[in-house]
Amino acid sequence: MSLIELVCGEYRAGIDPATGGGLAYWRGRHDLVRAAATGETSPQQFGCFPLLPYSNRIRNGRFDFAGQSVQLPLNFGDHPHSIHGHGWQNAWDVVKRTANELRLQYRHERGAWPFSYLAEQIFRLDEAGLCIDLRLANLGDRPMPCGLGLHPYFPATAETRIEAGVNGVWLTDDEIMPTAWAPTPANWDLRDGCAVAGMGCDNLFTGWDGTARISWPEKGLGLTITASANLGYLVVYAPTGADFFCAEPVSHLTDAFNSGGDAGVIVLQTGQDVCASVGFAPHML
């Protein structure tokens, strides 16, 4: 890791531009995201990484757009689908750095993904918490379908809970691909709060109001996530028995490019951009 550390009061946040522009740690008196081990080089072991120019899975890495068939490389081991885009698997350039702010850029030239784009992340650490801004700009000569989001990992304990305003969930098959929408079942009813340890979940929730609250009662600690309005879906990944879980603000459905209808796909014309923001505010219970 080639970490850059931001500092504000008791808080420290370490970002590694070379490892997907990922957040290796963020801590005050406690770790607020899962901390990567010293020397870790896999973004999947970090506390957060960016999702762009799409989030989650594209079935078999294939979709059609504007009369063109696109076949993406399968980028996740033996997994049969393309996942999470490019940002998390590439190095980012440092554009600006201060004691408590870091701006990174990643430029992608057209290839298997036949659209050129520029991505930015801005990390800002202050006494209120951590804010991560995202920007995606179409540099090509044709419209580009896209989406964006964040993939934070949080510590999970026996008492950890998550609460969020949602109206339903997409059920999935063994490949974590969506099969049917359903009202949230009782054991996943985020509106009333769920014990993370009992969820056994890797699903996308719809109708998210942009706020999620995490609590670690045994630490007397809470964390409020606030996302911009264009991040209208929340993916919760809470594997049974794990010491972490994820609550991912994202802009579109899983496999949105193949879904049709209002799946949250953003289409950027040449020269257009889209911005999104997620704030993480710790507080005592």
Question: What is the C-alpha radius of gyration for the chain, rounded to an integer number of angstroms?
Answer: 18
**Angle at CA 151, nearest 5°, toward 44 and 285?**
110
Residue range 173-188, pLDDT digits in tens: 999 999 999 999 999 9
| pLDDT the model gives residue 217 | 97
Query: Cα–Cα distance between 285 and 280 in angstroms, integer?
Result: 15
Band of residue 27 on the pLDDT scale cut at 50, 70, 90: very high
Q: What percent of the chain has pLDDT over 70?
A: 100
- Residue carrying structure tokens 């885009």: 85
Q: How many CB atoms lie within 10 A of CB 202?
A: 14
Q: What is the per-residue pLDDT for 1?
A: 56
* In contact, 220 and 157? CB cutoff 8 Å: no
Residue 161: other Cβ atoms inside 10 A: 18
How high does pLDDT run on average in the chain?
96
CA distances to 55, 60, 268 from 147, rounded to whole Å, are 7, 18, 10
pLDDT in tens, 190-244: 999 999 998 999 999 999 999 999 999 999 999 999 999 999 999 999 999 999 9
Identity of residue 34: R
Which strands make up the sheet holding 48-51, listed edge to edge?
4-8, 11-16, 22-27, 48-51, 149-155, 244-250, 233-238, 201-206, 168-172, 178-182
Domains of the chain from N-terminus onward: 4-284 (2.70.98.10)
Residue listed under structure tokens 């059609």: 64
pLDDT in tens, 140-160: 999 999 999 999 999 999 999
Structure tokens, 208:
């998210």
The pLDDT tens digits for 66-121 are: 999 999 999 999 999 999 999 999 999 999 999 999 999 999 999 999 999 999 99
The span from the CA of 49 to the CA of 62, in Å, is: 23
* pTM exceeding 0.95: yes
Q: Is the pLDDT of residue 15 over 80?
A: yes
**pLDDT given at position 2:** 84
